[in-house]
A and B are shown apart, each in its own frame.
Chain A
Amino acid sequence: MSTDRPSNLIKHPGQTSIASLENISDFSLNITDCAQVVVPEEVFFTVAAAGILENLLILIAVIRNKNLHLPMYFFICSLAISDMLGSLYKTLENIFIILCKMGYLTRHGDFEKKLDDAMDSMFILSLLGSIFSLLAIAADRYITIFYALRYHNIMTLRRALVILAIIWAFCAGSSIAIALFSYEAATVIPFTILFPLMMCFILCLYVHMFLLARSHAKKIASLPSSTVHHRTNMKGAITLTIFLGVFLCCWAPFVLHILLARFCPHNPYCACYMSIFHVNGTLIMCNAIINPMIFAFRSPELRSTFKKMFYCSRSSCNW
């Protein structure tokens, strides 16, 4: 690609004769006017590998530590699994493209198309799984705060597992359906409406919790012997903004891409937006890296489990 471009640029752009291939490549010059922004493969693989490793660590830690067999950690595990799937998809797609470039696979074969469809459905599964896991985590925290006294009766382990099974079955079914019928507007529109709807719902849950926490802090501050610092209120606002800001910034570009690809693929502005598709994919993988830091690593119990795991592996403890 890089060797073709300079020769195209030298040619006169005004030629309209269709006899020669070179003039038609002038036409293709217009297509590549907004060139695809290419993310280097090393960056891609590094980000994907980091995401997969981090989420795998969380899964292992939750499985090994019996204290972490709680609904809250199961929901965090579900988020880790969906992040892992997203990074795995990108890695497989990259490998697939490298194989295509090296000639082991053709571009137009049936098998490749089916494989591509399967990978697309894995990616949509990851997106839906992410959204619903975040929703489940928010709902779990909401119940913890507003129904604190009955939490253990409302959210038992069995119910949490049933909820997770329902969520993943729904996501799997929808992802297969969306991947099969992805060329129709009827699938794209619900898909893109789901995203802001879930965002708003999660935002409302967290804001309500935030208001309760603030009123608690006010009550404590009104006590004469209170030593709570006023800055903790600001911290809550920052934390909530980070939560939702990260989710928005990582997923919204991709959702917009899908919308534009469906409704205005020939518009030059839309085409320029779609040329940064791989940056959007990298952002989604960055989300897989950031999510554990926001959700999982804040738990002291999980952190101590990690320390035990690492120190044990370093100083061969008794296995």
Chain B
Amino acid sequence: MSSLRLISNRTSQQALSNSDYTWDYEYYEYGPVSFEGLKAHKYSIVIGFWVGLAVFVIFMFFVLTLLTKTGAPHQDNAELSEKRFRMNSFVADFGRPLESERVFSHQMAEESQSLFHFCINELDHMNKAKESQKGPSLDSNTHFQEVSKSSGVFEEDLHRLTKFNIPNFVNTEQNSSLGEDDLLISEPPIIL
């Protein structure tokens, strides 16, 4: 039996030697595989694998679509409070001047600009959404404006909150049809 296997091994390599891509079989050294008495179809793993993969991808798509439609309502409150905290920490972080970084080219400055506008716009939205908390938000809003004015670069752009289009970072066009699409592509814009 073992000699039969040896001979059949060598012959199998010769039989396959005229075909393409037999290089792969050198290392696997498959013995003879008997295809008799198969209960299921011989390509059942292939079919099962691809069907399973397709089902999984479609399932993922439906889960994401459901997240789109419903989602967790409590998350909105959590996001708002988180953002407020980040605004405050942002002010603290932004104490040091931007120009200390050598990598800040003009575009980088524009991107920081866009972050400012994001903050300011966010604050505007929060103000509109929650009238009762107008006080502290306005304070930080004015603080922002002070910080931004002290940098000296962003003065004229404070008036044009929705106009600019920073290709690499933030897309603030409200009418843009890209929406969350951009979020997941090369530049994740923060939709305002």
Contact = CB atoms under 8 A, between A and B. Distances in A.
A252 B107 CA distance: 40
Interface in B69-83: 69, 71-72, 75-76, 79
A33 B86 CA distance: 64
Given A150-B89, A223-B128, 16 more contacts: A21-B11, A30-B33, A30-B34, A34-B43, A67-B168, A72-B186, A72-B187, A108-B26, A145-B190, A149-B119, A150-B90, A214-B67, A228-B175, A236-B181, A260-B45, A300-B167
Interface stretch (B49-57, B133-141, B151-159): B49-57
Interface residues of A, number: 102
A239 B185 contact: yes
Contacts of B30: 31, 265-266, 271
A232 B178 contact: yes
A153 B45 contact: no
Contacts of A271: 30, 33
A33 B42 contact: yes
B64 A240 contact: yes
Interface stretch (A47-55, A122-130, A187-195, A204-212): A204-212
A153 B26 CA distance: 52
A41 B19 CA distance: 12
A237 B68 contact: yes
Given A234-B68, A241-B64, A266-B30, A150 B93 contact: yes
A267 B68 CA distance: 44
5 contacts: A1-B16, A28-B32, A67-B168, A219-B125, A239-B180
A232 B167 contact: no
Given A153-B93, A269-B45, A249 B67 contact: no
B105 to A, nearest CB: 8
B148 interface: no
Contacts of A152: 101, 104, 108, 111-112
A46 interface: no
Contacts, number: 265
Interface in A217-246: 217-220, 222-223, 226-229, 232-241, 243-245
Interface in A243-289: 243-245, 248-249, 252-253, 256, 260-261, 265-273, 276-278
Interface residues of B, number: 89
B179 A233 contact: yes
Nearest to A182: B27
Given A222-B129, A248-B53, A228 B33 contact: no
Interface in A45-74: 66-67, 70, 72
A248 B64 contact: no
Contact of B71 (A31, A36, A215): A215
Contact of B75 (A150, A215, A272): A215
B54 to A, nearest CB: 9
A270 B60 CA distance: 27
Contacts of A100: 23
A18 B6 CA distance: 12
A213 B57 contact: no
Contacts of A238: 61
Contacts of A72: 168, 186-187
